[in-house]
Amino acid sequence: MAIVVEGLRDPALRRLIRKKLDALRDHLRQPPTAVRVGFTDENGPKGGPSIRCALTIDMARRRAVHVEHTATTPRRAFDLAFDALERRALQEIDRTRDRRRRPKKYFLARRLLESEAGPPVERRGGERRTA
């Protein structure tokens, strides 16, 4: 997994970013192919909540997950964006698991028809058929 951090000079925060992203990778079923973390100062020296942190995770055979958050410090912006990213990634995992478990409509329709038709009746060729 390639981690690219742009717009940040603080080495301690870079280490924290790598540590948290590695922990997230362990939770995911498929490891991400690339992670991009970008920091920008939205309104320059004016002050206020102006540091924007954008996180993008590229996964194989899935669409990229992207979140952004704005705060007064880079650490706070990253923490908020990472929390949102973690929620989105775990939701995506739950969604794919539920999609895999849900029975398909034709399977369900056949089951409903079998239950309405009554007990199966024996045919000549050894096949079973509902009456």
Question: What are the residue boundaries of the structural domains of the chain, listed by start?
Answer: 2-117
Tell me the pLDDT tens digit for each residue of 85-127: 989 887 877 777 777 766 666 777 777 888 877 666 555 555 5
Q: Is the pLDDT of residue 13 over 60?
A: yes
Architecture of the domain spanning 2-117: 2-Layer Sandwich (3.30)
Query: What's the whole-model pTM score?
Result: 0.69
Percent of the chain with pLDDT over 70: 84
Q: Is the pLDDT of residue 26 over 80?
A: yes
**Cβ burial, residue 50 (10 Å; 0-12/13-18/19+):** middle
pLDDT at res. 115: 80
Average pLDDT over residues 18-22: 93
> Is the CA virtual torsion 112, 113, 116, 119 positive or negative?
negative
